[in-house]
A and B are shown apart, each in its own frame.
Chain A
Amino acid sequence: KNQVEQSPQSLIILEGKNCTLQCNYTVSPFSNLRWYKQDTGRGPVSLTIMTFSENTKSNGRYTATLDADTKQSSLHITASQLSDSASYICVVTRNSGNTPLVFGKGTRLSVIA
Chain B
Amino acid sequence: SAVISQKPSRDICQRGTSLTIQCQVDSQVTMMFWYRQQPGQSLTLIATANQGSEATYESGFVIDKFPISRPNLTFSTLTVSNMSPEDSSIYLCSVELILAKNIQYFGAGTRLSVL
Give me the interface of A with B, judged by CB distance under 8 Å.
31-32, 34, 36, 41-46, 49, 89, 93, 98-99, 101, 103-106
CB atoms of A104 and B42 under 8 A apart: yes
Main secondary structure of the interface of B (DSSP, over half): strand
Assess whether B41 is interfacial by the CB under 8 Å rule. Answer: yes
Main secondary structure of the interface of A (DSSP, over half): strand
A41 vs B45: C-alpha distance in the bound complex, in angstroms?
18
A95 vs B106: C-alpha distance in the bound complex, in angstroms?
20
A103 vs B58: C-alpha distance in the bound complex, in angstroms?
15
CB atoms of B41 and A105 under 8 A apart: yes
Interface residue tally on B, bucketed by range: 20 to 34
Q: Which residues of B contact A34 (CB under 8 A)?
A: 103
CB atoms of B104 and A41 under 8 A apart: no
CB atoms of A46 and B105 under 8 A apart: yes
Give the shortest distance, in Å, between A95 (CB) and chain B (any CB).
9
Q: Which residues of A contact B56 (CB under 8 A)?
A: 98
A-B contact pairs, 23 of them (CB 8 A): A31-B102, A41-B109, A42-B108, A43-B4, A43-B92, A43-B94, A43-B106, A43-B109, A44-B43, A46-B103, A46-B104, A46-B105, A49-B103, A89-B42, A89-B43, A93-B102, A98-B58, A99-B45, A99-B58, A103-B42, A103-B44, A105-B42, A106-B42
Give the shortest distance, in Å, between A3 (CB) and chain B (any CB).
11
Give me the interface of B with A, judged by CB distance under 8 Å.
4, 6, 41-45, 56, 58, 90, 92, 94, 102-109, 111
- Centre residue among B41, B43, B108 by max chain A CB count within 10 A: B43
Chain B residue at minimal CB-CB distance from A90: B42
A31 vs B109: C-alpha distance in the bound complex, in angstroms?
26
Chain B residue at minimal CB-CB distance from A6: B42
Chain B residue at minimal CB-CB distance from A46: B103
CB atoms of A42 and B109 under 8 A apart: yes
A93 vs B102: C-alpha distance in the bound complex, in angstroms?
8
A103 vs B41: C-alpha distance in the bound complex, in angstroms?
10
